[in-house]
């Protein structure tokens, strides 16, 4: 799932937390299988698998469950044959969406993702219609209450981070994907542990959603995509402030 700090509040909206938690293991297992399938079962030579396993451990997935997922990916154990597909589209307010799917049925996924968009005033686009608005980046998110921001900035930039973004409650370190592991490791060695760390598709520019009606429509699309059993990750270029989210909860 998309890992921007703005999603933290969105995903903590009432009624969403338990639902998301219930689906997390399934998606983590799929990611481990795909990572092992494409890059092998040795985390020393497969950064994607290492990151997937780190996330699974953080979510308290059992060790034997992780090991089975790896073996299914490498073919040591029999498992479902999954393929990866990326869909691109637009939602309400002109928000751009990239939707990564991991599925065993391409036709089903195409139909359900298209339905998710069409039922929420959005539409799927052609390949390349949205992707150019995003860059593949490593991100590490730090809770401002738990870290020294000045220390974070100094060490991150010295280590090779590209930028540090200031959010309402988080500091977000942006890295080149190739430097992600080294930046993450150095920061951890200095006692700076992130709340979330991943390789993601990061928007070049964001659309600020300032009215509740549009925000509600966008979040309905986001929720429907997240509830789609084939959807693995959602990347989007909209931003909804805490103030708007709080009003929506009233």
Cβ atoms of residues 11 and 195 within 8 Å? no
Average pLDDT, the chain: 89
Banded pLDDT at 152 (limits 50, 70, 90) = very high
pLDDT at residue 88 tops 60: yes
Helix (H, G, I), strand (E, B) or coil at 101: strand
Domain with residue 238: its CATH number is 3.30.70.980
pLDDT of residue 61: 92
Give the tens place of pLDDT for each residue, 40-54.
Answer: 999 999 999 999 999
| Phi, psi of 10, rounded to the nearest 5 degrees | -60, -45
Note down the domain range covering 215.
83-132+206-249
Helix (H, G, I), strand (E, B) or coil at 7: helix
How far apart are alpha carbons 43 and 51 in whole angstroms? 9
The verdict on 127 and 139 lying in the same domain is no
The verdict on 127 and 238 lying in the same domain is yes
The verdict on 225 and 210 lying in the same domain is yes
Return all residues near 241 (Cβ < 8 A) that are at least 6 apart: 168, 208, 210
The verdict on 108 and 197 lying in the same domain is no
pLDDT of residue 2: 40
Q: Average the pLDDT over 150-154 and give the result.
A: 93
The verdict on 192 and 210 lying in the same domain is no
Q: Which helix (H) or strand (E) holds 185?
A: helix 180-189
Q: What percent of the chain shows pLDDT beyond 70?
A: 91
The verdict on 164 and 221 lying in the same domain is no
Domain count, the chain: 3
Give the tens place of pLDDT for each residue, 157-212.
Answer: 999 999 998 887 889 999 999 999 999 999 999 999 998 899 999 999 999 999 99
* Residue 177 tokens, joined: 């994907």
The verdict on 50 and 162 lying in the same domain is no
What is the per-residue DSSP string for 205-246? S-EEE-SHHHHHHHHHHHHHHHHSTTEEEEEE-EEE-HHHHH
Give the tens place of pLDDT for each residue, 107-143.
Answer: 999 999 999 999 999 999 999 999 999 999 999 999 9
Q: Report the half-sphere exposure of 62 (CA within 13 A, side-chain side).
A: 3
Instruction: Kindly list the distances between the CA atom of residue 159 and the CA atoms of 99, 139, 143, 181, in Å, as whole numbers in the listed order.
Output: 31, 14, 20, 11
Domain with residue 36: its CATH number is 1.10.10.200
Q: How many CB atoms lie within 10 A of CB 97?
A: 26
pLDDT at residue 250 tops 80: no
Chain centroid, CA 189 distance in Å: 25
Banded pLDDT at 8 (limits 50, 70, 90) = very low
Residue of 247 and 193 predicted with greater confidence: 193
The verdict on 213 and 193 lying in the same domain is no
The verdict on 128 and 142 lying in the same domain is no
Cβ atoms of residues 101 and 84 within 8 Å? yes
The verdict on 198 and 109 lying in the same domain is no
Token pair 């903590």 in the structure block, residue:
12
* Residue 146 tokens, joined: 């738990």
pLDDT at residue 12 tops 70: no
């Amino acid at each position: 799932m998309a890992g921007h700090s703005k999603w933290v509040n969105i995903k903590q909206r009432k009624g969403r937390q338990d639902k998301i938690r219930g689906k997390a293991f399934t998606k983590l297992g799929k990611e481990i299988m795909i990572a092992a399938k494409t890059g092998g079962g040795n985390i020393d030579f497969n950064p994607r698998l290492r990151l997937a396993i780190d996330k699974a451990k953080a979510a308290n997935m059992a060790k034997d469950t992780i090991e089975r997922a790896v073996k299914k990916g490498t073919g040591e154990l029999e498992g479902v044959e999954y393929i990866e597909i990326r869909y691109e589209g637009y939602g309400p307010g002109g928000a751009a969406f990239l939707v990564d799917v991991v599925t065993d049925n391409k036709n089903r996924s195409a139909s359900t993702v298209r339905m998710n968009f069409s039922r929420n005033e959005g539409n799927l686009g052609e390949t390349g219609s949205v992707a150019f608005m995003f860059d593949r980046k490593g991100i590490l998110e730090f809770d401002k209450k738990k870290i020294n921001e000045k220390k974070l900035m100094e060490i991150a930039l010295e280590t090779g981070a590209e930028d540090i973004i200031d959010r309402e409650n988080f500091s977000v370190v942006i890295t080149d994907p190739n430097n992600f592991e080294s930046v993450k490791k150095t920061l951890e060695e200095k006692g700076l542990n992130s709340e979330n760390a991943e390789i993601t598709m990061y928007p070049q520019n964001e659309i600020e959603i300032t009215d509740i009606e549009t925000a509600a429509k966008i979040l309905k699309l986001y929720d429907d995509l997240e509830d789609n059993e084939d959807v693995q990750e959602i990347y989007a270029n909209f931003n909804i402030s805490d103030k708007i989210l709080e009003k929506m909860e009233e």
